């Protein structure tokens, strides 16, 4: 059975005309126009998504700053959970995934600080827990962060899905996390964790296929596998994830059939959880549901 996730939140808010900029990213709409966040979730329910992910991705100091996180972080995170739950309840059997984002920013594994991490992680867990059905740990760039976050989430008793982001342009190396740890080694490190699913997200579609092949062979049915790629253009070393709004690939956003071809291939390789990340919107999810 295939589970259909939603698509990207930040770019859908931008497309809708909601408040959106760096560094606040999708958290800005929570602050200034929370109804637009609910509307974005509803657009994915109407497209057929079976899982909505809370809009908590940017509710961390990396995006909103230390002072605002201390003053309003917990309230924003709770609001993200509440809005997703309200939208999910308009559909039949739609579940809510509690977003656990990179605690120190996307694509920055070198910034992970285990000593500071609990101060960011615990509000994310506690404020979302009343609203979510399971946890989706997104855009993981290192094994260290995956192990740390999983240990904390396991205490909640809710199911856990881990989603890793990969280095794009894999032709010159085997699939790697953005920490440059080999994917094969990362999978070995997490194979005994109390998780339900292993996914790959926020990397280009071309990068996902070899990663999925490795995961299917190495994990041998231990976990459900999933993919939700982004539509970003050319993210390479030196990219600062909260400085600019990255360009999107026209081939992926103008014609849903291109992304759909990737999705069909991933399903053929064993993926049973499919959706979209940055730039992949409700039209893509509707087309994916039609494929299903």
Q: Domains in the chain and their CATH numbers?
A: 3-291 (3.20.20.330)
pLDDT (mean) for 104-112: 95
| Residue 245: pLDDT over 60 | no
What's the pLDDT at 238? 45
Average pLDDT, the chain: 94
| Residue 243: pLDDT over 80 | no
pLDDT (mean) for 136-157: 98
| Residue 186: pLDDT over 50 | yes
pLDDT (mean) for 43-59: 98
What's the pLDDT at 237? 45
What's the pLDDT at 239? 47
In whole angstroms, give the CA distance from residue 14 to residue 25: 9
């Amino acid at each position: 059975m295939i589970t259909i996730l939603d698509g990207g939140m930040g770019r859908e808010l931008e497309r809708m005309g909601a408040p959106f900029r760096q560094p606040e990213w999708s958290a800005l709409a929570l602050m200034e126009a929370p109804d637009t966040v609910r509307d974005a979730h509803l657009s994915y329910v109407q497209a057929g998504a079976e899982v909505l992910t809370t809009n908590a991705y940017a509710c961390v100091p990396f995006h909103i700053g230390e002072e605002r996180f201390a003053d309003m972080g917990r309230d924003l995170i709770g609001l993200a959970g509440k809005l997703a739950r309200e939208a999910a309840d308009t559909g039949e059997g739609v579940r809510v995934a509690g977003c656990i984002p990179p605690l120190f920013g996307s694509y920055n594994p070198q910034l992970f600080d285990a000593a500071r991490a609990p101060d960011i992680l615990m509000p994310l867990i506690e404020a979302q827990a009343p609203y979510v059905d399971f946890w989706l740990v997104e855009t993981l760039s290192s094994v260290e962060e995956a192990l740390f976050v999983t240990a904390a989430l396991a205490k909640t008793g809710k199911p856990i899905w881990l989603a890793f982001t990969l280095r794009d342009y894999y032709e010159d190396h085997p699939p790697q996390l953005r920490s440059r740890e080999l994917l094969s080694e990362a999978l070995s490190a997490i194979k005994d964790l109390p998780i339900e699913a292993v996914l790959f997200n926020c990397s280009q579609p071309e990068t996902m296929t070899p990663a999925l092949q490795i995961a299917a062979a190495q994990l041998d049915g231990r976990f459900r596998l999933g993919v939700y790629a982004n539509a970003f253009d050319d993210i390479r070393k030196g990219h600062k994830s909260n400085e600019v709004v990255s360009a999107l690939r026209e081939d992926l956003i103008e014609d849903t059939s291109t992304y759909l071809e990737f999705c069909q291939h991933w399903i053929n390789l064993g993926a049973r959880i499919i959706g979209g990340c940055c730039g992949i919107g409700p039209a893509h999810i509707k087309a994916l549901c039609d494929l299903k």
